[in-house]
């Protein structure tokens, strides 16, 4: 008990020091919170009334954004799934192979989508195609790591049972591990799908197409009533994707 209290005090002191250091680095000032009232005044003066007449013109950009997010995330899942087995300690061929794949996934995950997008926009040109590749590469790293951790946490019993009846290692992985973790894989996939929708908005700022490009164009032209409608449309799209993901997960579990 005394040992626990000492560690708790040490961790608390470290946390306080880290928080104090971060406040200084970020120029955090409590007095700035009083300025948030200006944000409400700005929205009331510039955004309202909303320009609902632009809704029909938003349908196609929103569908493009959904297509970017879906393709980038779905293709990433197809690639990340086998890489995750190679990056899990209990299913990897060897320690060397394990660390190589881990390093590869960490490398992809450490590069933000916006960096990939800037590269592919230059190489492939403007449009949604570079945005798909940017989301695809980054999500391989993220999904590969998340799924590999699910594999490492899976129950060893079903795999041992299949090996005892003569099944190969690959067959054991397929029929003993995947059924255990599949609901969690779907949960991670739909979460990354939601993130990809928001990411595709940022990629639209650099010429990646979709509703993000429409948003930045209206914002730069000070068409704030249209910006407000676009933001609400994006919120509705993300909520619908979340509800659809919950529906699918219930049918799988």
Whether the ω angle into residue 120 lies within 30 degrees of 0, i.e. cis, is no
Spatial separation of the C-alpha atoms in residues 169 and 163, rounded to whole Å: 7
Question: Mind listing the pLDDT tens digit for each residue in 21-48?
Answer: 887 777 777 776 777 777 777 777 777 7
pLDDT for 157 equals 64
Report DSSP letters for 142-211, one per residue.
HHHHHHHHHHHTS-SHHHHHHHHTT--HHHHIIIIIHHHHHHHHHHHHHHHHHHHHHHHHHHHHTT--SH
Spatial separation of the C-alpha atoms in residues 87 and 103, rounded to whole Å: 9
Spatial separation of the C-alpha atoms in residues 167 and 173, rounded to whole Å: 10
Question: In 10 A of CB 187, how many CB atoms?
Answer: 19
Question: Mind listing the pLDDT tens digit for each residue in 195-228?
Answer: 888 888 888 887 777 788 888 888 878 788 888 8
Q: How confident is the model over 114-132, as a mean pLDDT? A: 83
What's the maximum distance between 2 C-alpha atoms anywhere in the chain? 72
Alpha helices per DSSP H over 206-223:
211-220
pLDDT for 212 equals 80
The mean of the pLDDT values for the chain is 79
On the question of pLDDT at 111 being above 70, the answer is: yes
pLDDT for 3 equals 65
Question: Mind listing the pLDDT tens digit for each residue in 48-88?
Answer: 777 787 888 888 888 888 888 888 888 899 888 888 888 87
Look at the pTM and tell me if it is higher than 0.85.
Answer: no
């Amino acid at each position: 008990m005394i040992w626990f209290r000492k560690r708790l005090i040490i961790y608390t002191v470290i946390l306080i020091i880290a928080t104090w250091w971060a406040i200084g680095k970020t120029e955090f000032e409590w007095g700035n919170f009083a300025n948030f009232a200006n944000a409400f005044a700005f929205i009331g003066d510039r955004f309202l009334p909303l320009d609902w007449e632009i809704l029909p013109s938003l349908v196609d950009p929103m569908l493009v954004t959904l297509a970017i997010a879906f393709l980038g995330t779905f293709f990433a899942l197809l690639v990340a799934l086998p890489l995750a087995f190679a990056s899990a300690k209990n299913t990897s061929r060897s320690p060397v192979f394990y660390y190589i794949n881990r390093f590869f996934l960490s490398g992809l995950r450490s590069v933000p989508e916006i960096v990939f997008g800037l590269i592919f926009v230059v190489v492939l040109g403007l449009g949604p195609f570079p945005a798909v590749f940017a989301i695809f590469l980054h999500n391989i790293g993220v999904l590969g790591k998340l799924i590999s951790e699910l594999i490492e946490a899976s129950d060893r019993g079903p795999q041992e049972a299949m090996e005892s009846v003569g099944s190969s290692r690959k067959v054991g992985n397929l029929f003993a591990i995947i059924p255990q973790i599949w609901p969690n894989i779907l949960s991670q996939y739909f979460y990354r799908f939601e993130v990809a929708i928001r990411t595709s908005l940022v990629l639209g700022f650099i010429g990646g197409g979709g509703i993000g490009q429409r948003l930045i164009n209206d914002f730069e032209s000070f068409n704030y009533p249209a910006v407000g409608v676009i933001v609400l449309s994006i919120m509705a799209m993300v909520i619908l994707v979340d509800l659809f993901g919950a529906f699918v997960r219930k049918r799988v579990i």
